[in-house]
Amino acid sequence: MEREFDFENICGQFAIAGEYAACVRYGEGHINDTYKLTVRENGREVHYILQRINHRLFPEVGKLMHNIALVTDFCRKSVLARGGDPMRECLSIVRTKKGESYYFDGENYFRVYVFIEDATTYQIVRDPKDFYESAVAFGNFANLLADFDASQLYEVLPDFHNTRVRYANFLRAVEKDVCDRRMEVAEEIAWFKEHSYLCGEIVDKIASGEIPLRVTHNDTKLNNVMIDNATGKGLAVIDLDTVMPGSLCYDFGDSIRFGCNPAAEDEPDLSKVNFRYDLYETYLDGYLSAVGESITPAERAMLPVGAVLMTYECGMRFLTDYLEGDVYFRTVRPGQNLDRARTQRKLVEDMLQQLDRMREAALR
């Protein structure tokens, strides 16, 4: 059941002019509880994004918000330097009346962002052009973060894309089987075990120094970039909770995982799920056009593996969550995490068949 909050009181804690009017559930993120907040100011409606931060996942909210404040300030300066509009082209934190970046009501943590109007986050690629523009936006974001001092950031989710650690968590969930679901998904478990050779593909190259560790976004799915309704351009990269040390291959790969599937991430009918190679090339072109000169040949060569790996890892995380009783990713129906795990498996199988041409394109 959805929990209700006293939104009017929460709104009153923030430095928001105007009168509270409404607050409704918004967007399709899997992690935080997101709401569109409406206030009336001088006779017109003004919107904000209000989020209840997933405090189970981010126990140290102060550190999380420290990171986001630094990254948003950094983005704001860069947008201003190029003559852009920082209120639309980056996330803007609205502070509390006491000047804090979040409000704690004794039980829950809330934050508010300026609502970016006249822009859309897509759940599925409808027009390849949007996907191209999302690639340019994420590539630009990576390019921008190349100048960001990583030592300023807390690693709020350690080992976020350490696929070996994810695999160990998966095996533990299989072993514990707290919901007695192991038998039902024996085939999926076997498949993820058979493909566990994938786990080391990037972490080992990072460990050996072959692939550089950078400040990356780490959650680059299509619905974390806002596309401007008027220009069709990627306007703002959002959902900055996971900006931490990572690899370009992860960021590239996660976009491919989500965007090259013509069906929903939780589509139960697997005949609708497949890897659209044409969209892979679309994204690759956009990303390489924007990411800048600093991408190394080793990173470029590993971009396709990043796609396979992020898809494998995400599928394994969905299956782990299914085994653990759906405690991590938001679900709205039974079996949703299992459906998500199955779509990711299907995508990995498709990608593995096309890996050679994916590699050739990345090195062209």
Binding site for ligand GN1 (CB under 6 A): 29-31, 219, 221, 224, 239, 241-242, 254, 265, 314, 329
163 binds ligand ADP (CB under 6 A): no
Of 188 and 219, CB closest to ligand ADP: 219
Binding partner selected for residue 314 from ligand GN1, Mg ion, ligand ADP, none, CB under the kind-specific 5 to 8 Å limit:
ligand GN1
Provide, rounded to whole angstroms, the least separation between the CB of residue 260 and ligand ADP.
19
Number of residues that bind ligand ADP (CB under 6 A): 18
CB-based contacts of 139, cutoff 8 Å, min separation 6? 286, 287, 288, 289, 290, 291, 292
**Residues of span 84-143 touching ligand ADP by CB under 6 A:** 91, 113, 115-116, 121
x/- mask, Mg ion, residues 55-74, rule CB under 5 A, reads --------------------
User: What b-and-e string marks burial along 275-305, b requiring 16 or more CB atoms within 10 Å of the CB?
Assistant: bbbebbbbbbebbbebbeeebeeebbbbbbb
Distances (CA, A) of 70 to 67, 73, 135: 5, 5, 23
Distances (CA, A) of 361 to 49, 144, 299: 39, 25, 14
CA end-to-end distance (rounded Å), the chain: 51
Provide, rounded to whole angstroms, the least separation between the CB of residue 27 and Mg ion.
7
26 binds ligand ADP (CB under 6 A): yes
User: What b-and-e string marks burial along 322-334, b requiring 16 or more CB atoms within 10 Å of the CB?
Assistant: bbbebebbebeee
Binding partner selected for residue 242 from Mg ion, ligand GN1, ligand ADP, none, CB under the kind-specific 5 to 8 Å limit:
ligand GN1
Please identify which residue in 33, 89, 133, 239 interacts with Mg ion, judged by CB under 5 A. 239
139 binds Mg ion (CB under 5 A): no
224 binds Mg ion (CB under 5 A): yes
- Residues in contact with Mg ion by CB under 5 A are 29, 224, 239
